[in-house]
Structure 1
Amino acid sequence: MLLLNVAIVVLAILNISALRESAQLPPEYRTPYMLMQYQSETVAEARMLTSFDGQDIHSPMHLDYLLTMYRHGSSIPVTDVYQGEVTERRITLVPATTSFSIGSSLSVGTIFLLFALYVLFRHRDRSYAPVLHLLAACTAIMILFDWGALAPLPLVANFLLRLLFDLSIWILPTLFFHFSFIYPTDRPRLRRRWLVPWYAVSLIGMGLSIYYTVTLYVGGTPILDTDYLPVHGIINDVFLIAGLLCTVAHFEYAALKITDAVLRKNVYWVLLGIMFGPLVYVFMILAPRILQGSEFVSDALMQYTLILAPLMFWKVLRRERQPE
């Protein structure tokens, strides 16, 4: 497991250059955050792209994928629709990240990685340690390995970054749910049979991730000739939302069954970390992205809410080592 943490650090450092070079569309093509109906008269209508560098745009996810092929500053021919008028023009891609957003990702991801190491070295004797370590490490991967420009990095690095990111997002919901069965005390094995379908879905998703990543990055298959975008842009996000909701529900149920006051308090601290950390991120970022194609708020800002999870978990683990 220590090797996994070392690999995360090395790849995260490599990904910094990719994030610095990442590109996005100019402001006139982007919808402001929290765009509500009552604002429609005061906010200019965003231009809608129909083609990008000669390729038809099929979805926002497709466009996001195409943008990873370019650095900011690139001049790209596009076709857009604005107020019913179709126009062919050239646009210059602008930076998709800032020093603040990259710093936010590095800070939050590092906190999760440090927590994973803390669990590995200080609580390795606990039955929940392997699951909690992987849970923290996979979360760090999802934060640190965010999509950047492909050009600055060699093919092998891009392949590993994308593969580990996709594998992590498939196993993370199951790890959350699994953790609710083994903390603060291990549940009867009969009840843990509910984990079987979750691990089955995770394994299927991870298998698809390996297949699609090899197909795209090694085989050079066009992404529209695969089901990568719907599988990894919608289905895995829905799976993550379901995993977090089931985790919260199961922890709530477990708390009602625990008679020990200290253990019950520990469960509520864990719930606090999940509900005001990852769960808030899900409903402000992932759910809106699925339903309307854009987030409610800035991803960089919302990442800081995730810190509540390792902080609350760390507080609980310290209480175990130093009983009241």
Structure 2
Amino acid sequence: PSGSIISENLGNEVMNRSEVNTDKSTKALFMPIQNDNFSGYTMIVGLTPGREETFIENVKNVTVDGKRSLVGESDNSVIIGSQVAENFNATVGSTITVSNHKYKVIGIIKQIGTGWPLTIDNSIVMQLSHAQSVMEMPNLISTVIIVPQESIDVAEIDLQNAYPSYSIYSQNDTRKTLEDNMSQIKIFFNMISAFIFAVSVILIMIVMMMSVKEKTKEIGTMRAIGTRKRSILTLIIYESLILSLIGGIIGIILMSPTYNTLGLLMGAKEVNFLSFYIPTPILIQILMIVFIIGTFSGLLPAYIATRISPIHALRYE
């Protein structure tokens, strides 16, 4: 069962059902918190000690520096994700302060990316009882992470029938939801990219059309002294490419302040405007797009320039 808050007694009831593998399943408390030192969130994850592998998907294939379990550790011992370690500049044995509570880092999970159903990299895993105490939520949990005795589908159907007022999500459901969300986000950004591409082409084309009109007499003079149409075509396209390249460079320069300003608006207390890094493959893609925009934008103005009559152009004022 997954809900915003459920009682621990209900969690115990679910854990005792025949469909549930009690040795691997766990009650859990998830609580996102904001930290003043950096933007984004950190997820407090309270688990039953010894059930860490239930939270960390495919834990046997995940590298963990230090200890992998909270069994036998003190209440303030935690296992943290890679992003948390980076945010706090923490190593195994370090002490971090979260919401005015100090924790000793006994393990650091190497970067995973995603996990069930949250981002493990941003998580701080601690004992369930301590998480309940810190969050002032005694005898309350967020969910029960279940490892079924039988197939996932059978367990999901049985539990949904037993608890119709609660939502039951399998790992497959969560993965499908994440994939659908990512697909929608990708479509949204593709639409924005297409719109920006079209606007950029139109704007540069308008500028180049005005440039061609202003240079009508010069183009006519060039045609009159024998300049080939291909040379004029190339000249206009080159000018369009240079204009597009200048715009691309300005855009790249503005990426850092824009990105960091958004970070400040989202709650970051401090940002480093010199720390923004653009991976080389992304930079190459940007330059390729700039080249395509410049080429397409210059085609029509260049064609119009080649159609200018030398006699008409020399009379143009």
TM-score (structure 1 length as normaliser): 0.23
Q: Which has the larger radius of gyration?
A: 2
TM normalised by structure 2 equals: 0.24
Structure richer in strand, relative to its length: 2
> Relative to total residues, which structure has the larger helix share, 1 or 2?
1
Greater RCO, CA 8 A, separation 6+:
2
